[in-house]
Structure formats: structure tokens, C-alpha cells
Amino acid sequence: MLRPTRYLAVLLAAMLATGVTLPPDASAAEPPSLLNPAPHRWVGGRLSPELLAQLDALGVKEVISVAPDEETPEVDEAALLAAHGIRQHAIPVAGPEDLTRKKVEELDRVLRAAGDENVFLHCASGNRVGALVALRAAWIEGLPVEEALRKGRAWGLTRLEPIVRERLQSGAAAQE
């Protein structure tokens, strides 16, 4: 296991060698916090060298990115993760209009295929991840609305909760 300072040096060298960079403000003074809402599952925000070090320490081999590429055009996330030996799955959710049954089914497929592998799911804050998880809990797992929302909150759901609640209560999944 590499020490954090050595790890960052190796990471930066790999990034420079492959031409992959992170935005200038991506390095925080403290490591970002991660939610661990279920075994082998972590949720967080944007990638940074500190977060990559945490993912490496956790043995994460798959990342599900819910943030569209346009949110961070200066970062080639797929290349960055590939240089790290991590597979990326992109399920972009730009806003409420992307909270569709198709996206939820795609998330379900990727999570089921991952099995007991360690998976990191992210967007800018975890809010969209939590929204998809709440919808998955209701539409695929069959949980009642309040339980699905509770599960979504454990996975990062915040500002999108009223929209997710409305979709669940209106039966919007049947309309898609």
C-alpha cells in the first residue's frame, strides 16, 4: 500500500503521462467525505486526487458517474479512471427530466452486475445519485414511497426529493 504522499506523486505522474488533468480547484485541503449507504457502495461528489486515493484504499473497481460530461469539460473522467484501473459507467442525469425509468433500469443493471465489488457512485454532490436510488427502490424493488425516499436520502438525495416524491406518487414510471 502506498503512503498518501507517494500515492499522489504516482497519480500525478500517471495523469501527466496520459495527459489527463483535474480542474485546478479539485484538490481540497481535507479528503472528501463519502457516504457508505450499503455494503460495497459509496457515494460522493466530484473526483479529486484525494478522492481517488480514498477509492484506491477502498478497492473500488467500478465508478458510476451520474454527472454529464459537460459539467466538467476539463476532466476526461473515463481516461482518468481507466489510468487507475477503474471501470466507469456513465448514466448522465442533467436534471429532473433525466430521472427516467430507462436510467433507473440502467443503474439497476450496473449495480446487479457489480455484485459484491466495491462501487463508487457520484455526481456533483450525491443528490442525483440519491434520486435514482429512491426511484429504483420504488420502481424496481417495490418499496413504498416513504421507504424509497428514506433510502434515497441515505444515498445523497436532497434538493430533488420533492420531484422524486411527485414522480413516485403520480405513478410516472408507468408513463415512460
Q: 66 Cβ partners below 8 Å, 6+ apart?
A: 91, 92, 93, 121, 122, 123, 128, 129, 132
- Looking at the predicted structure, is the pLDDT value of residue 2 above 90? no
Mean pLDDT of the chain: 84
Q: Which residue range(s) make up the domain with 115?
A: 4-26+34-175
Give the contacts of 25 (CB within 8 A, at least 6 positions apart): none
Mean pLDDT, range 18-38, rounded to an integer: 56
* pLDDT higher than 80, residue 55: yes
Provide the pLDDT for residue 33. 80
What are the two backbone dihedrals, phi and then psi, of residue 119, each rounded to the nearest 5 degrees?
A: -125, 135
46 in Cβ contact with 68 (< 8 Å) = no
The CATH number of the domain where 47 resides is what?
A: 3.90.190.10
Average the pLDDT over each of 12-21, 40-49, 69-78, 112-121 and give the range with the smallest value. Answer: 12-21
Q: Which pLDDT belongs to residue 176?
A: 55
- H helices of the chain, in order, are 4-18, 49-58, 77-83, 101-114, 127-139, 145-154, 161-170, 172-175
pLDDT band at 49 (very low <50, low <70, confident <90, very high): confident
Say whether pLDDT at 153 is over 90. Answer: yes
Kindly state the average pLDDT of the residues 93-99.
96
| Ranges 10-14, 75-79, 118-122, 169-173, most confident | 118-122
> How many domains, in total, are found in the chain?
1
C-alpha cell at 147: 421507504
Return the pLDDT at 19: 45
pLDDT band at 104 (very low <50, low <70, confident <90, very high): very high
Q: Taking residues 91-100, report their average pLDDT.
A: 97
